[in-house]
């Protein structure tokens, strides 16, 4: 059951172009509104956006479609993806819609949908909505956007939830926040100031076009400079919709999602809250994390990339903690999605409670050399159907003999094959990555 519009994290593309053209976006609203109305009389749906200049008009197209489909809309304005997930599951909403392309450049945008439980839609439901969109597109649509005004009270509810999740206050702690000129630009500084920290915030002046621009969770070097210059106790960088967080220690060491998972797993286990001594990660997490957890007697399960797949496995196994190397971390006690602000609250709280900084808590995490190469492809085929590529992958796996990993997957949002090789020796890792990438380029390259 292949999906054509939805990727690993909703629908994503260049704003104004297919699949984010006005007719398709409006049809999505109609389809979702009808689906919600089939189970609820006059269902209410919450919508949020990040700071991209295209966010408001895309939200108004979705809202117009929802109204045409029989749903009412409340607009949270500029807010985070996890805020929409939280509001959807804690409020009277049949569904939630977030307009964001996460860490992508400002010209891109996307649509993520949550059901009433706060979970991202399962693949089967996304496929059903797609089919309805295609059916609606067969005849001309009378597109009628719905003007939206933000309800500030929704942000207050989310901030109160985050404050309640903090085990301790942060009085005396000096924190540097890189808000990525994105959805956390107001909420981040306000949250940590309310919790007692002294906050040095930057990249907190969005103009619609500077989201993720040389800042945020995918560009952590500016945060490292600020942490060192300001002599902050710790720093955290959020991406455009603040569903991920990357940390920088007081000495300038960058700590990604794998380091967060290790520190959080140890803290939860010490408190008897790591259900089943189990952590869920994705195929992208470093082999070093798996080895460090293993040494502590903690199992690690891997899923495909995407925090929705991490969450599905957490629910299936009863795991309390899961996440991605990219900084999406799910604390199941509190949330149904990766939440950068919540992750920061929990990690700063852990370092306060244990009197260790995050770098010291993860000092034994050995990061195996890892190389990732993206190859543009003209089509996405099963690798078993491309013998030359499959043969190269098997040869590399045999050479590693269990000491390394090979992962080749297609991007869910772009015409790319992603080749990742990981092992104890950097030279071999680079050599093997290049060999596999060359085979893909020759057989499938654009």
Same domain, 356 and 377: no
How many of the other CB atoms lie within 10 Å of CB of 41? 6
User: Is the pLDDT confidence value at 394 over 80?
Assistant: yes
Average pLDDT, stretch 148-170?
95
Structural domain contains residue 4: no
Give mean pLDDT, residues 409-418: 85
Length of the chain (residues) = 446
The whole-number pLDDT of residue 353 equals 85
User: What pLDDT was estimated at residue 446?
Assistant: 83
pLDDT at 382 over 70: yes
Q: Phi/psi of residue 414, each to 5°?
A: -135, 160
Of 77, 52, 65, the C-alpha closest to 22 is 65
The confidence score (pLDDT) of residue 323 equals 98
Q: Return the pLDDT at 358.
A: 87
| Domain end residue (candidates: 128, 154, 180) | 154
Residues 31 and 142 in one domain: yes
- Domain range for 210: 156-254
At 139, is the pLDDT very low, low, confident or very high (cuts 50, 70, 90)?
Answer: confident
Is 228 found in the same domain as 122? no
Last residue of a domain, one of 106, 137, 154: 154
Q: What value does the mean pLDDT take over residues 9-28?
A: 96
The string of pLDDT tens digits covering residues 178-211 is 999 999 999 999 999 999 999 999 999 999 999 9
**H-run or E-run covering 177:** strand 174-178
Task: Give the count of beta carbons closer than 10 Å to the beta carbon of residue 366.
Answer: 11
Q: What is the mean pLDDT of residues 117-131?
A: 91
Using alpha carbons, select from 33, 37, 98 the residue that is nearest to residue 68: 33
Greatest Cα-to-Cα distance within the chain, rounded to the nearest angstrom = 63
Say if residue 223 is in the same domain as residue 261: no
Q: How confident is the model at residue 383 (pLDDT cuts 50, 70, 90)?
A: confident
The tokens describing 10, both together, are: 């909703």
Residues 109 and 59 in one domain: yes
Model pLDDT, residue 1: 53
Give the end of a domain, one of 326, 361, 396: 361
Known catalytic membership, residue 411: no
With 80 as the cut, is the pLDDT of residue 441 above it?
Answer: yes
**Shared-domain flag, residues 356 and 386:** no
CA 442 to chain CA centroid, Å, is 32
266 and 237, same domain (yes or no): no
Note the pLDDT tens digit of each residue in 39-91. 788 899 999 999 999 999 999 999 999 999 999 999 999 999 999 999 999 99
What value does the mean pLDDT take over residues 88-103? 96
- 346 occurs within a structural domain: no
Quick one: pLDDT at residue 355? Answer: 74
- DSSP one-letter string for 9-20: TBEEEETTSTTS
Whether residues 294 and 214 share a domain: the answer is: no
Task: For residue 231, give the CATH number of its domain.
Answer: 3.40.120.10
Q: Any residues with CB less than 8 A from the CB of 41 and at least 6 apart, and which? A: none
- Predicted confidence at residue 405, as pLDDT, reads 92
The predicted-structure confidence for 292-349, as pLDDT tens digits, reads as follows 999 999 999 999 988 889 999 999 999 999 999 999 999 999 999 999 999 999 999 9
Given a cut of 70, whether residue 2 has pLDDT beyond it is: no
In this structure, what CATH number is given to the domain that contains residue 440? 3.30.310.50
pLDDT at 330: 98
Q: Which of 100, 102, 249, 351 is catalytic?
A: 102
Kind and range of the H or E run holding 331? strand 329-331
| Cβ neighbours of residue 199 closer than 8 Å, sequence gap 6 or more | 175, 176, 177, 189, 192, 193
Task: Looking at the structure, tell me whether residues 150 and 166 fall in a common domain.
Answer: no
**5/137 Cα distance (integer angstroms):** 13
202 shares its domain with 140: no
Count of domains forming the chain: 4
- Look-up: residue for tokens 């470093």? 286
Same domain, 19 and 109: yes
Q: Which pLDDT does position 140 carry in this prediction?
A: 85
Residue 126 lies in a domain: yes
Convert 206-242 to b/e letters by CB count within 10 Å (16 or more is b).
beeebbbbebbbbbbebbbebbeeeebbbbbbbbbbb
Q: Is residue 347 part of a domain?
A: no
In a domain, 128, yes or no: yes
Answer yes or no: do 439 and 379 share one domain: yes
């Amino acid at each position: 059951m292949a999906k054509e519009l939805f990727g690993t994290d909703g629908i994503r593309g260049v704003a104004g172009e297919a699949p984010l053209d006005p007719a398709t976006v409006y049809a999505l609203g109609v389809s979702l509104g009808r689906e919600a109305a089939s189970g609820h009389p006059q269902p209410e749906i919450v919508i949020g956006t990040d700071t991209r200049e295209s966010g408001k008009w895309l939200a108004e197209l979705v809202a117009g479609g929802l109204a045409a489909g029989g749903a009412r809309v409340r607009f949270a304005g500029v807010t985070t993806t996890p805020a929409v997930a939280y509001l959807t599951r804690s409020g009277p909403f049949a569904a939630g819609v977030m307009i964001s392309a996460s860490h992508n450049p400002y010209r891109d945008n996307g649509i993520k949908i949550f059901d009433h439980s706060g979970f991202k839609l399962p693949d089967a439901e996304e496929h059903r909505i797609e089919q309805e969109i295609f059916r609606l597109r067969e005849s001309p649509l009378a597109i009628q956007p719905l003007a939206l005004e933000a309800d500030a009270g929704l942000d207050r509810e989310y901030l109160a939830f985050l404050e309640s999740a903090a085990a301790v206050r942060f009085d005396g702690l000096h924190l540097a926040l890189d808000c990525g000129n994105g959805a956390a630009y107001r909420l981040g500084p306000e949250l940590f100031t309310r919790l007692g920290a002294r906050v040095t915030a930057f990249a907190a002046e969005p103009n619609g076009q500077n989201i993720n621009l040389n800042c945020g969770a995918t560009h952590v070097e500016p945060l490292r400079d600020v942490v060192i210059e300001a002599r902050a106790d710790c720093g955290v960088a959020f991406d455009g919709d603040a569903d991920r967080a990357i940390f920088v220690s007081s000495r300038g060491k960058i700590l990604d999602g794998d380091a967060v998972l290790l520190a959080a797993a140890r803290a939860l286990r010490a408190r008897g809250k790591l259900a089943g001594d189990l952590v869920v990660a994705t195929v992208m997490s470093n082999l070093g994390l798996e080895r460090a957890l293993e040494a502590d007697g903690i199992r690690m399960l891997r899923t495909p990339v995407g925090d929705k797949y991490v969450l599905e496995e957490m629910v299936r196994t009863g795991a309390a903690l899961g996440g991605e190397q990219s900084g999406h971390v799910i604390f199941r006690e509190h949330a149904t999605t990766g939440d950068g602000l919540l992750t920061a609250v929990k990690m700063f709280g852990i370092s306060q409670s244990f009197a260790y900084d995050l770098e010291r808590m993860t000092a034994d995490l050995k990061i195996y050399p890892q190389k990732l190469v993206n190859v543009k492809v003209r089509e996405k085929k099963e690798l078993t159907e491309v013998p030359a590529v499959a043969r190269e992958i098997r040869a590399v796996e045999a050479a590693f003999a269990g000491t390394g990993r090979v992962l080749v997957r297609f991007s869910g949002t772009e015409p790319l094959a992603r080749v990742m090789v990981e092992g104890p020796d950097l030279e071999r890792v680079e050599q093997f990555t290049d060999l596999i990438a060359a085979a893909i380029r020759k057989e499938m390259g654009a």
